[in-house]
Amino acid sequence: MKAGEAGGGGSGTFSSTQSCLLLFDDLYGGGFFDRRPVMDSILIKIFATALAFSQVTTRPDGVKTEFDAVRDRFEVAQLLSAGCAHMRKAFDIEDINLDDLIATAMDDKEALNSEIKALKGLNLANLQVAYRQFCNVESVEESPVDLGQVIAFYNSAVKDLPDAAELKHLRLPGTSIVLDNKSERFAEIYVPNNRRIWVKLADVPEAVRNAFVAAEDKRFFQHTGIDERGLVRAFIGNFTHPGRPQGGSTITQQVAKNLLVGNDITYERKLREMIVASRMERALTKAEILELYLNSIYLGRGAWGIEMAARSYFGKPAKALSAVEGALLAGLAKGPNYFNPDHHPERARERLAYVLGRMRDDAMIDAAAAQAVLPQLVEYRPTRRDFGFHFVDHIAREAKLAAGLDTLTNSSYTVRSTVNSALQRVVEATLQEGLARYELNTGRYKFEGPEANISDDVRRIAADLKTTEPAWLAALKATRLPLYDVHWESAIVLENARGKRGHAINVGLTDGRILPLNTWSAAIQRSLKPYDVVYVQLREAKGKEAARADLRIRPTVQGAALVLGNETGRILAMAGGFSYPASQLNRVVQSLRQPGSTLKPLTYLAALRKGLQPNTLVMDEPITLTPIGATVHARRGDFWSPKNYDGGALGAITLRRALENSRNLATVQLLASGLDDSAERGLDRVCELAMEAQLYKDCMRYYPFVLGAQTVRLIDLAAFYAAIANEGARPRPHAIETIEQDGRPIYQHDPRALDWIGSADRASFYQLKSMLQGVLARGTARVVKHLSPFVGGKTGTTDNAVDAWFVGFTNDVTIAIWVGYDNSDGGRRSLGPGQTGSKVALPMFEPILQAAWELHAPKTALNGPSREAMHQLATLSIDPYTGDPSPAGSGRVFTEYLKRDPSGRIDDTQFRIVSRAESYAYRGGRDEDGPFQQWSYENRHYSDNRSPFPFPNWRLGPREYPSWRGYPDDEDRLPQPPRRVDPDYFWRRLN
């Protein structure tokens, strides 16, 4: 048969030269012509690859990976001749005269003029001479092949080949599914380019297996890794159907390429692939190779392996696939993008017909079942997640620590997590908005340009006549901004016109609306160009005020927020920073920050356990402590003299008022004289309690510890506050409930995992809980006084306002919020003068709290003491300022819970630290007209029942508009005795 007649007749559009060269391209794996102009280099690589082919086909058990460039030349020449003879037999089977084919190619002027791109750089004359030398075993005067160079290239290429036996028990990376607390899919965890679920070969229907064999490797069960006849069939197919070249790689070669030698289009990869494939056939069974293949191939729709593809295309597992469905997937293996049924249904149908035809010809399927009708596909929804990234990262770490799994991608697991998806979104959005508004309102924002400019995309879409919606809208919908987890709207600048009143900017939204943009700054207005994309916060129309979009700018300040289930320790929501793409550091669990006054409850808990009562008096006056272990010769600068935030002192006050108003001096006085016989021993009591509460593994024994000087993790601080809500039962925070593999549980969190703090002194914990409830009712968080029946909590601000905190709890959840700068440069950047926990962190608390009430547990008043605690407690009406008993019904009466002594009577400790005489002295000798009688710490009478200040409006803008300043402080109102009561100010040393 003549060359032009090969394979049953050509199309007439494919030259004989192209056919001949495609033979070499098929023989050596496709894509081998480097297109480089160096002729000798191409020939060296072709013959090095031929050397590998010759060995694996003629002596597969004795493949050498190193030859001597001098001594082994004759052996290499013999191998090349043997390989050529072996290949010619395959052509003979197909009745193709290879010599005539090459002779015809040499007469093709088109090829010789190098007008065919694939042949550029290749000297066909040299190739023909080499063919005569090694295939026809002719003597040639000047051989174009230097076997020494061929050997050198071959030795280098096959050096350090991977061990095919590694695949014997290989399990490829899998995809783990994370479910939320309602068992709905929350996230997938997988290695990039490995979104798969492993399936055993036995679970794949035989008809589906046959479809892949028919489509990709007809002689899979006969060949030993390299299929010479398959190469010839690919050559014939390329000759008769030149539109899309076929390859000649076997399934074994594809597995070797995908898993061991890589996917580079190079001669080096191809010859390594041949040798490794040959060795695989001796190390693995055919079933093992086919199982690896079916689980490793990419089939489109983001699916690697047949199991994930079956679920992605048909919404069913691989074991439920029909023969036609399997044939469609098998057809995709050749080119999942080219034959994509979503975008190219006609190509997919043609490919399906081809696969079914091959199956029918090979008696794998009957004619009735081989109807090429595209099966019904499920809707494709790309797995693009826009929230919960810090939480999912934490899932992976917890799986390693708690369940002993090095990674959740070494197999396919189902992880049942604790997260409440809807609440998680609210927490992230609230933190992002709060951080941005802090910088807007303090003037710290820095606009560094738009998130993107998509003018090129708009022009491209506008030129597409098939587009039915505005080009800007289509381009905006298709744009994914770098911070893909930010919960603001994206908007595109459509117009920036300058008028009499300045710039007027209109932006388009993804819902098609066009709104005016408020940019806060004239400089920002001037910098924005058409088709810039920015983040905005929408302000809907209200009354006479039209709808508008407010520009949102990435903040540099960071924050973290956590919602923790009190009784269970379930992490219901976790935001580890402003945006995961911007910073993967999870500041809930991976960052240590000074807690400031949020640690003060520890000292007061130690005092309550000591037997003191909430109405016990302590002095709020200056104090200086000698360094621990110091002698009388200690330097003056080593002494510690803390200060209150407002710089003043209030004299004798109750423990309750000291904690509610976070008085530093009173806390240190309590340490010095209320916990033990010395400040040093008192510090030991607090440290012991801190470690028992699992806030620290080691306590730094220095006095500022009691004011929150030692760094802590936010999650541990939240667990301590949850223990307060539970009267001493500390939950174990966790994000994973169970982990399952193949439907079998391999890990389960112990639901009874609680740790009791303080020897289960429930009465003391309840008293502390009541005192923290007073922080909202009368203290540093009094601006949310309306929440005090339902919430207890504590503000915190560290020295120089470096960290701002609020931790609050209800009956069901604890919410912890931190704001500050990362200070990665080693400095301690301040949030600014007056930027306390009540101003910066507290504004974010109520939106999260309201969401928790709506999405997790209903709003309820804080529980009273438990039965166990009530056995030790009695109620007494007292004066909230003096701690004195007061007649019931008095205008400023307060019901306090006080412990009983062994006889059952109230244990009166009011004057245990401060004598009655000292107390009266600080009251001016009177009970009624002392400095604490007239005004409360919110500058009003206790009997004044006016409503508190309203919660700030999140929609208000920064300085150019009505100021959103957080919560009002004492300086915002008159009169002003005392001046300021958030005491989160650290120690000062005497100079």
Stated as kind and residue range, the H or E segment containing 737 is strand 736-741
β-strand partners of 564: 571, 814
| Side chain identity, residue 335 | G
82: which 2 tokens? 């043997």
Report which DSSP code applies to 574: E
* CA distances (Å), origin 732, targets 197, 571, 600: 32, 10, 22
Half-sphere exposure of 435 (CA within 13 A, CB side): 29
* CA distances (Å), origin 356, targets 139, 295, 331, 362, 370: 49, 22, 9, 10, 5
β-strand partners of 489: 536
How do the residues of the chain divide into helix, strand and coil, expressed in percent and rounded to 5? 40, 15, 45
Q: Please identify every stretch of the chain with a pLDDT value under 50, giving residue numbers as ranges.
A: 1-39, 109, 111-119, 239-240, 242, 925-991
Quick one: 717 exposed, middle or buried, by C-beta within 10 A (0-12, 13-18, 19+)? buried
Are 331 and 347 in contact by the 8 Å Cβ rule? The answer is: no
- What are the counts of helices (DSSP H) followed by strands (DSSP E) for the chain? 30, 24
Distance from C-alpha of 590 to C-alpha of 586, rounded to nearest angstrom: 5
Beta strands 413-417 and 176-179 are parallel
Predicted pLDDT at 47: 86
* CA distances (Å), origin 316, targets 319, 326, 411, 561, 968: 8, 12, 19, 39, 58
> What sign for the dihedral angle of Cα 521, 526, 527, 531?
positive
Predicted pLDDT at 963: 32
Alpha helical stretches, state H, 159-248: 206-216, 228-240
Beta-sheet strand order (sheet of 813-820): 571-575, 558-565, 813-820, 803-809, 792-797
* CA 807 from centre of chain: 25
Predicted pLDDT at 923: 67
Tell me the three state secondary structure of residue 914: coil
* CA distances (Å), origin 800, targets 328, 556, 586, 594, 596: 66, 18, 24, 12, 11
Predicted pLDDT at 984: 38
Q: How many CB atoms lie within 10 A of CB 109?
A: 9
The backbone torsions φ and ψ at residue 170, rounded to the nearest 5 degrees and listed phi first, read -70, 135
Predicted pLDDT at 169: 85
Distance from C-alpha of 124 to C-alpha of 130, rounded to nearest angstrom: 10
pTM for this model (two decimals): 0.82
| Side chain identity, residue 117 | K
Quick one: 472 exposed, middle or buried, by C-beta within 10 A (0-12, 13-18, 19+)? buried
* CA 118 from centre of chain: 45
Predicted pLDDT at 864: 96
**Residue 133: CB partners within 8 Å, gap ≥ 6?**
139, 140, 143, 145
Predicted pLDDT at 962: 31
Distance from C-alpha of 536 to C-alpha of 430, rounded to nearest angstrom: 14
599: which 2 tokens? 């640690």
Name the residue among 726, 891, 698 with its Cα closest to residue 813: 726
The backbone torsions φ and ψ at residue 562, rounded to the nearest 5 degrees and listed phi first, read -140, 140
30: which 2 tokens? 């496709």
Helix axes of 147-157 and 73-93: crossing angle, nearest 10 degrees: 80
Predicted pLDDT at 266: 84
Distance from C-alpha of 743 to C-alpha of 831, rounded to nearest angstrom: 50
Contacts 24+ apart (CB under 8 A), 947-954: 947/786, 948/782, 948/783, 948/784, 948/785, 948/786, 949/783, 951/784, 951/846, 952/843, 954/433, 954/437, 954/847
Distance from C-alpha of 185 to C-alpha of 157, rounded to nearest angstrom: 46
Quick one: 262 exposed, middle or buried, by C-beta within 10 A (0-12, 13-18, 19+)? middle
661: which 2 tokens? 């108003």
Q: In 755-766, which positions are buried (b, 16+ CB within 10 angstroms) versus exposed (e)?
A: ebbbeebbbbbb
Distance from C-alpha of 643 to C-alpha of 990, rounded to nearest angstrom: 11
Distance from C-alpha of 609 to C-alpha of 675, rounded to nearest angstrom: 9
* Tens-digit pLDDT profile for residues 212-257: 999 999 889 999 898 877 776 665 555 445 455 555 789 999 999 9
Beta strands in 604-661 (DSSP E): 617-620, 640-641, 651-654
In SS3 terms, 15-49 reads as CHHHHHHHHHHHHCCCCCCCCCCCHHHHHHHHHHH
* Per-position DSSP letters for 354-416, written without gaps between them: HHHHHHHHTTSS-GGG----PPPPPPP------S-HHHHHHHHHHHHHHH--S-TTSS-EEEE
938: which 2 tokens? 């919110």
Name the residue among 500, 497, 582, 570 with its Cα closest to residue 535: 582
The backbone torsions φ and ψ at residue 642, rounded to the nearest 5 degrees and listed phi first, read -70, 165
Predicted pLDDT at 348: 94
Report which DSSP code applies to 259: I
* CA 795 from centre of chain: 29
Are 556 and 446 in contact by the 8 Å Cβ rule? The answer is: yes
